Structure 1
């Protein structure tokens, strides 16, 4: 970062003092490069605002490049993101905008995002919401996701939604005993769900979602995909709503 910043400042100085083609640092002698370095230093000391201008310009270019890269990644993986055939689809399944969330039941920011997303779906009524089980925070995360997916396979998507919501609100240690207790609360067959946790279908779903996350360069949760844009990290409901409206045009 520092090297890039110094280069940006140097280029700012070069553009301010002489045509870029007039300076070839590689063609300079050691003495000439030392003198030029002193000139750069003196210029920056007299005009420190150039440093912040260079930082801002660099960050803007990096953000724009990342945003475009994300758009390309979403386009290349659109079918797996929006229509994988196994992820839970909630909200309004026929909604005009699709919001996808990669989440982990042990993630504190995911738990915060859960309430914000629920408020968004209730307030809007025309958002298709897709949940991607992406357990990356240890064994308890993996156990929770396996139990949730097994619930979906054994008891259906409504039961999955109940279990998902309960786990997003749950703050204790995630154990098989705790998961069975939650299943009993909803009148689900805990024995059958537990027996299916290690089924091939469950493992396949987790593997495909993890592979997709790797292709999308997702390393943390929550991460959202909203139409053609990736939103990395927690966002409050009002910001999500604003981006949804932008997507609608």
Structure 2
């Protein structure tokens, strides 16, 4: 690593394999599909084409079948999303290449590269962060790219955007990981709170604010948004290992995938 080393952090809880956006959408989609499935299940009964009502009776007696159908649909949908993302990266591998000024740690010629898209206000990102930093410590031969993707701001709220710019400014002063960890450790962020984190981390606040407002910083974040859209990303955190989306945000799974990539 070429930046400051991460401090020790408490073990985070086990994470679900869904990202912050896609997890919420998946729940809504499942509910919608269940309602549609129930409607379709009733249709043959009403029209007399239900094998004497046996299909309807079976579904009423075994409603878990509908859950299995929804689960199978979600698995297929995730597989389709994964294939689409990987195909987009295969068409344009440069979309994952670190840009000048973007935080990246580990050997430039590393055999394995891990890239994370994240937002500092994303709860799953916060849960994964401590164990992710431990993965860095355990794999000094792996290159880790931190891709600032502030997507959770709404209306006049700019906290995610401000945090991303602050972290990039901290990187310019050689203290990215300390600021990254402090931002992830906060359950709720505010503009003033982010400034306090910068000062507490030894950042020159005046220099940082100037860096945050530059066209280069705006261009970098805009390019990240454009690249994420081109790949079809739906939520944070999203991890890639050697250009392949992992489909999981569980640090233990990531560790196994990193080991597999090293052996491959």
Q: The TM-score by the shorter chain falls in which range?
A: 0.7 to 0.9
Question: TM-score, structure 1 length as denominator?
Answer: 0.73
- Alpha-carbon distance in 2 for matches of 1:141, 1:171: 13
Cα deviation, residue 204, structure 1: 0.6
The aligned counterpart of 1:241 is: 255
Cα deviation, residue 114, structure 1: 0.7
Contact 1:93 1:129 in 2 (8 A): no
Q: What are the ranges of 5 or more consecutive residues in structure 2 without an aligned counterpart?
A: 1-32
- Alpha-carbon distance in 1 for matches of 2:67, 2:52: 15
- Higher fraction of helix: 1
Contact 2:98 2:104 in 1 (8 A): no
Q: CA RMSD in A?
A: 3.2
The structure that has the greater radius of gyration is: 1
Contact 1:111 1:168 in 2 (8 A): yes
Question: TM-score, structure 2 length as denominator?
Answer: 0.69
Pair 1:170 & 2:189 matched? no
Pair 1:148 & 2:167 matched? yes
Cα deviation, residue 244, structure 1: 1.9
Q: Secondary structure at the match of 2:120?
A: coil
- Alpha-carbon distance in 1 for matches of 2:78, 2:118: 24
- Alpha-carbon distance in 2 for matches of 1:245, 1:228: 15
The aligned counterpart of 2:175 is: 159
The aligned counterpart of 1:27 is: none
- Alpha-carbon distance in 2 for matches of 1:102, 1:151: 18
Q: What are the ranges of 5 or more consecutive residues in structure 1 without an aligned counterpart?
A: 10-32
- Alpha-carbon distance in 2 for matches of 1:142, 1:55: 36
Deviations, residues 185-208 of structure 1 (Å, cap 9, x unaligned): 343321111123211011111111
Q: 1:192 aligns with which of 204, 207, 210?
A: 207
Deviations, residues 222-246 of structure 1 (Å, cap 9, x unaligned): 11112243235631x2211112233
- Alpha-carbon distance in 2 for matches of 1:70, 1:180: 35
- Alpha-carbon distance in 2 for matches of 1:211, 1:173: 25
Deviations, residues 70-116 of structure 1 (Å, cap 9, x unaligned): 22022123212133333210144443211111111122211111111
Cα deviation, residue 211, structure 1: 1.0
Deviations, residues 114-146 of structure 1 (Å, cap 9, x unaligned): 111112122233221101111122211111111
Q: Secondary structure at the match of 2:50?
A: helix
Contact 2:119 2:151 in 1 (8 A): yes
